[in-house]
Amino acid sequence: MKPPVRYGLMIAVGMMAWVIVAHLLVPNPKSLVHSFGVVTFSNLLHFAGIYLALKATERERRDKLAFKEGIKIGVTTSFIYAITVSLFFVGVLLIVGTKWVEAEGSAPDMPIWLVAARAFAGLFVVSMFFGLVYSTLISFVLAKRKSDDQ
């Protein structure tokens, strides 16, 4: 399995575990664990997953990555993560129902399908945006290191 797929799936599994554990242990979605905890955990997990995907690709190729290659691999990792975690939430909606979505405090006059669609779009776009930012930062550091070695 290629590193972007492997680490994109690992990020998604980590987020799935966080969501399940957080909803089971902390039923109040407005608590600090749900708001601050998920932001911190997801960003650290996303950053670490992209970094590990880039390092694994370097090990496989036995060569340092160019800046553009690093961005491409990082964005691919984020894409795999965004698709997988979106599919997970589709499964949650089918199995658990809209209980988790309603608990997040959406507008009362909006249909639930619209709330879910906006949540999926937001999840995907935000994951891809942060994936691009993290890929750029990590690739810049790794490419800088490559130029220093030469």
Distance CA 3, CA 5 (A): 5
pLDDT tens digits, one per residue of 6-50? 999 999 999 999 888 887 887 776 666 667 778 888 999 999 999
Q: Are residues 69 and 79 in contact, defined by beta-carbon separation less than 8 angstroms?
A: no
Phi, psi dihedrals of residue 111, rounded to the nearest 5°: -65, 150
Q: pTM score, two decimals?
A: 0.85
pLDDT tens digits, one per residue of 39-60? 888 999 999 999 999 999 999 9
- The pLDDT value given to residue 26: 76
| C-beta neighbour count of 57 within 10 angstroms | 21
Residue 65 tokens, joined:
């990555």
